Amino acid sequence: MMAPYIHQLKQWPQFSWQNEELISLLAEVRYLQGRLLGKAELLGFELRKEANLETLIQDVIKSSEIEGEVLNPELVRSSIAVHLGLDYKGKENRDRHIDGIVEMMLDATQNNDKSLTDDRLFGWHSALFPSGRSGMYKIEVAKWRTGAMQVVSGPMGREKIHFEAPEANLLEKEMQNFLTWFNKDQDIDDLLKAGVAHFWFVTIHPFDDGNGRIARAIADMLLSKADRVNQRFYSMSTQINADKKSYYQILEKSQKSTLDITPWLVWFLNCLKQAIINSEEIITKVTTKHQFLVKNSSAITNDRQHLVITKLLDGFEGNLTTSKYAKLTKSSTDTALRDITDLMEKGLLLKSGSGGRSTHYQLNMEK
């Protein structure tokens, strides 16, 4: 006989955990969190905004990537810049679907002091699926699902069922219990509460689709509250995506276990710890970009050059060629070549490739 899922246990959802197994790890994460926020404070106002932007871009892209959806980084950057009111040359490029994901993420992290309600969750769900479809399939939007929900893998006819969520007729009560707990002041550290909330929501699986992304937004809401700032300097979704296999494994194991969710919380805190450690890359990227632009401001003589160099510093995908330069700057090939030649003579760009069509250019970071 198959063991019951955790939500079928009599005491559900009375979760418990072993504090002695978590206390030292929680203290370490809190220390790293404090140190990161201290470094962010030293960046100054403008660079903090830039670090927040880079973190949000990663968070939006990687949360979707976990679900197998690849988003265009330029469109994500454009959407977030618009929503944050930042000056960005590519703001005219927009995507309705990406705008919705960004709106959900920003509402979760910038309004972390507001109550989480079914209407707010329905708004998030509508933002994720503005067309009412998930891929080719029409789904129920802005309402609890009315059908069964299974997490399966494998080819048709040989599917493996990893998890079966609570029945649809139980969802109203299940979500009421969750939201009442979430909005009530708890005698629990917000970092732990983020882990519990993520696990609880994704176990209920109340929507036709988008449950994972909304669960991560809920966790980010509590992490933002724990940071006591509405700017993000580390990306939990990026780390989960990097450790996706163990993420699904610990979820499946915990959903078929007891109401003692200590192993899940240990995994969650270790993931959070690594996310904070890896945030050093974002701060380094932001400061390097700032130093490069300040140091070479006099050598960058027009807006076209500034636009392209900024894109290269942001992480330009693929190789920069003359034709790509012309397309990016909406200029002629001759103008693009003159700009590139000028930047090469000043030592800001280096030529790569073997010549001809393979010729491309890269930043000289020694400058």
Q: Is 323 part of any domain? A: yes
Assess whether 182 and 321 both reside in one domain: no
Structural domains counted in the chain: 2
Assess whether 31 and 106 both reside in one domain: yes
Q: Is 338 part of any domain? A: yes
CATH of the domain at 352: 1.10.10.10
Q: Is 85 part of any domain? A: yes
Q: How many CA atoms lie within 13 A of 298 on its CB side?
A: 1
* d(C-alpha 219, C-alpha 197), whole Å: 7
Query: Tens place of pLDDT for every residue, the chain, 367 residues?
Result: 356 899 999 999 999 999 999 999 999 999 999 999 999 998 988 899 999 999 999 999 999 999 999 999 889 999 999 999 887 666 566 789 999 999 999 999 999 999 999 999 999 999 999 999 988 889 999 999 999 998 888 887 778 888 999 999 999 999 999 999 999 988 899 999 999 999 999 999 999 999 999 999 999 999 999 998 888 999 999 999 999 999 999 999 999 999 999 999 999 999 999 999 999 888 888 998 888 999 999 999 999 999 999 989 988 878 899 999 999 999 999 999 999 999 999 999 999 876 667 789 999 988 7
Assess whether 70 and 148 both reside in one domain: yes
Q: Is 287 part of any domain? A: no
Q: Are strands 133-134 and 160-164 parallel, antiparallel or unpaired?
A: unpaired
Range of the domain at 110: 6-280
User: What DSSP character marks residue 260?
Assistant: B
CATH of the domain at 60: 1.10.3290.10
* d(C-alpha 361, C-alpha 305), whole Å: 13
| Domain end marker among 280, 312, 344 | 280
| Domain end marker among 231, 247, 280 | 280
Assess whether 207 and 343 both reside in one domain: no
3-state secondary structure of 46: helix
Spatial contact of 115 and 197, defined as CB atoms under 8 Å apart: no
Assess whether 111 and 243 both reside in one domain: yes
- Measured at the alpha carbon of residue 162, what is the angle toward residues 159 and 168, in degrees to the nearest 5? 100
Assess whether 187 and 60 both reside in one domain: yes
- 120-125 long-range contacts (CB < 8 A, ≥24 apart) are 121/175, 121/206, 121/214, 124/214, 124/217, 125/207, 125/210, 125/214
Assess whether 185 and 313 both reside in one domain: no
Assess whether 66 and 114 both reside in one domain: yes
* d(C-alpha 303, C-alpha 49), whole Å: 22
